[in-house]
Amino acid sequence: MEKARLLEFESKCVQEEPPYCQAACPLHLDGRALCAFVREGRLEDARKLIEKTLPLPETLARICDAPCREACRRRELGGAVELGALERACVERGPLRRAPLLIPKNGKKVAVVGGGLSALCAASEGIRKGYSVAVFCAEDRAAALTALSPLITDEIARRELAWLEKGGVLFLPLEDLPPLSELSVRFDAAYAGLDDPLAVCATAEATASVNPVSLETSVGGLFAGGAAPSFILRAADGRRGMKSAERFLQGASLFSSREKEGPYPTRLFTSTEGMTSAEPEAVPQEGYSSEEAVKEAKRCALCECMECVKHCAYMQYYKGHPKKFAREIYNNLSVIQGTRLANGMINSCTLCGRCERICPNGFSMAD
């Protein structure tokens, strides 16, 4: 089979598509993996996942407005899984955050204007990309975070800021921000977080009109975002802005292949047949205890397709799903024609055609 034909064939199987919650999350946190860790009591692994995915984990895990709920497969069966409350439990009940990984600097300097959530998320993304990041903001930096929610105490805000500083972020007074016309002399790119009124004032001449995809402003190399009311969307703008800065610095297109940066509908299919309705674990004011978190995580359906596998002893025996098998068979045939697992797999299929009838996309192992 030709490679192109194989890819087209493989794409019919949606088993490896992201779960509904992950595709709908503006920062694409894998809620399915999170629930799998929490239900096994592996809060440390769950916390690592949160730290890896969220640019300001201590803050976002406590205040996310959880737009993923709308997409959760459990929504009609008792209610969406309380992912926000689970994330909060992981950062509050799990071990303390690890020190930042010190990424070697790549010689590029990026300015971040503002001290709000969006700007700090952009700064966090910037140091993860190896940029030297300078944040120009008001002197009382913790205040911008504590103002977001009573759940963000002064101690939490200071911990978050200290983590950024340890990671290499340099905080400077807003008064030291060079005029926008001179920004490109001192910095290779810049991002303005428009959830901070001071940043709005400082960049007003450039940010009156911002492209919604690239977050470009009227000043080349200056990107801006974060004006949305939703906290998680402000954070996502910080990430998008830093991705645009990266593309700008690499001379790459600011627009191509960005459809899946924000929320998008997944192609995954998960049947709810046989799932029973169950109410979410009520979220107490002080957040879930570890036991309550485990109970809620157990409500997660760990969404996947596997419809054909449920009805096929042959696929169960080979422990996989058609997309994986198609890849293995193709690799096996193209590398060596000997007696290999894939050959046994091919010979074991009885060509009954059941998978094709069951699959929502008509994937046929017989083909």
What does the binding site for ligand SF4 look like in residue numbers (CB under 6 A)? 13-15, 19-21, 25, 27, 29, 31-32, 35, 60, 64, 66-68, 72-74, 81, 83-84, 87, 232, 269, 300-303, 305-308, 321-323, 358-359, 361, 363
Which among 162, 151, 127 is positioned nearest to 60, based on CA atoms?
151
Query: How big is the chain, counted in residues?
Result: 367
The nearer residue to ligand SF4, 70 or 155, going by C-beta atoms, is: 70
* Min separation Cβ 134 and ligand SF4, Å: 27
Nearest distance in Å: CB 60, ligand SF4 = 6
Between 88 and 247, whose beta carbon lies closer to ligand SF4? 88
CB of 283 to ligand SF4, least distance (A): 12
SS3 (DSSP) at 3: helix
Q: Where are the beta strands (DSSP E) in the chain?
A: 109-113, 132-137, 170-173, 189-193, 222-225
Residue closer to ligand SF4 by CB (options 334, 361) is: 361
What's the CA gap between 282 and 296, in Å, rounded?
A: 9
Based on CB atoms, which residue is closest to ligand SF4, 81 or 180?
A: 81
User: DSSP alpha helices (H): ranges in 288-340?
Assistant: 290-297, 307-310, 313-317, 322-335
- Smallest separation, CB 246 to ligand SF4 (Å): 22
Q: Compare residues 186 and 357 and give the one whose CB is closer to ligand SF4.
A: 357
In angstroms, give the least distance from the CB of 64 to ligand SF4. 3
Q: Give dist(CA 19, CA 34) in Å, integer.
A: 12
* Amino acid, res. 12: K
Considering the complex, what minimum distance in angstroms separates the CB of residue 39 from ligand SF4? 10
> What is d(CA 91, CA 101) in angstroms, rounded to the nearest whole number?
18
Alpha-carbon distances, residue 317 vs 5, 13, 94, 303, 365 (angstroms): 26, 19, 37, 21, 14
Amino acid symbol at 79: G
Q: Which is nearer to ligand SF4, 41 or 67 (CB)?
A: 67
Three-point CA angle 51, 100, 89, nearest 5°: 30
Least distance between ligand SF4 and beta carbon 230 (Å): 9
Query: 35 vs 112, which CB is nearer to ligand SF4?
Result: 35
